[in-house]
């Protein structure tokens, strides 16, 4: 039996490389991105679907980048598109730290709760049941480089997300992994990370998935 996992995230699921200028950005190859690492580690008994959109938020329409960045708005369509799913891995929250959204770490956690509940309320799993959920706390950011001003005040909030996400995940019956314990963002750019860190994160996520009973 082949199991299916959907990785739902933002640019750090998409594989965006650390950016030195705003005009264009590179992307890691399929095998280098953390979902690709997960697929390699789990082996042929798993199908891993990448759904990483740069700029994706938890629940917010972005007034600058567009309403399509709203994760909650798009999630039902993706669940229906890719079902049946055994597991949905959700790593979001970094873009909510942008100054334009003016939200607290608690607000971001409440938004993640909405995503978890939407998955648990769906029939996108096996035999019309909901898929399991793995919440991954995003890597803490740094207020540096190109995104320093855009993320002003976000660094401290980002360090609080793991503990808050862990509490939320336990209350909602979801699995949890702290991404910041296994990998780190590029210190100069502050938001994205390269292939070596994707390898660490993907390996940790694969290990967590392997320990889940379905």
Q: What is the pTM of this model?
A: 0.97
Distance between CA atoms of residues 59 and 52, nearest Å: 15
Is residue 194 scored above 80 in pLDDT?
Answer: yes
pLDDT on residue 1: 87
118-132 tens-digit pLDDT: 999 999 999 999 999
Taking the CB of residue 72, how many other CB atoms lie within 10 A of it?
Answer: 17
User: For 140-174, how does the pLDDT look when each residue is reduced to its tens digit (9 = 90+)?
Assistant: 999 998 899 999 999 999 999 999 999 999 999 99
Bridge partner residues of 71 (DSSP): none
Please give the average per-residue pLDDT across 192-206, as a whole number.
98
What does CATH list as the number for 3-16+26-210? Answer: 3.40.50.1110
Tell me the average pLDDT across 133-144: 97
| Whether the predicted pLDDT of 38 surpasses 80 | yes
pLDDT band at 21 (very low <50, low <70, confident <90, very high): confident
pLDDT for the residue numbered 134: 98
Q: What confidence score (pLDDT) does residue 139 get?
A: 98
Supply the pLDDT for residue 145. Answer: 86
In the chain, what are the domain boundaries? Answer: 3-16+26-210
């Amino acid at each position: 039996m082949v199991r299916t996992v959907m990785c739902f995230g933002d640019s750090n699921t998409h594989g965006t490389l650390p950016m030195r200028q705003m005009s264009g950005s590179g992307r890691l190859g399929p095998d280098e991105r953390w979902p690709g690492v997960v697929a390699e580690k789990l082996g042929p008994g798993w199908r891993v679907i990448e759904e990483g959109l740069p700029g994706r938020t938890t629940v917010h329409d972005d007034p600058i980048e567009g309403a399509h960045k709203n994760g909650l708005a798009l999630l039902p369509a993706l669940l229906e598109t890719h079902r049946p799913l055994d597991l949905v891995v959700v790593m979001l929250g970094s873009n909510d730290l942008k100054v334009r959204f003016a939200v607290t770490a608690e607000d971001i956690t409440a938004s993640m709760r909405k995503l978890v509940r939407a998955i648990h309320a769906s029939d996108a799993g096996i035999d019309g049941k909901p898929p399991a959920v793995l919440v991954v706390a995003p890597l803490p950011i740094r207020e540096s480089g190109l995104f320093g001003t855009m993320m002003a005040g976000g660094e401290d909030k980002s360090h609080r997300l793991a503990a808050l996400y862990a509490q939320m995940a336990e209350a909602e019956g979801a699995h949890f992994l702290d991404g910041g314990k296994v990998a780190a963002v590029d210190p100069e750019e502050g938001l994205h990370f390269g292939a070596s860190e994707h390898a660490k994160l993907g390996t940790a996520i694969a290990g967590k998935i392997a320990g889940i009973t379905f």
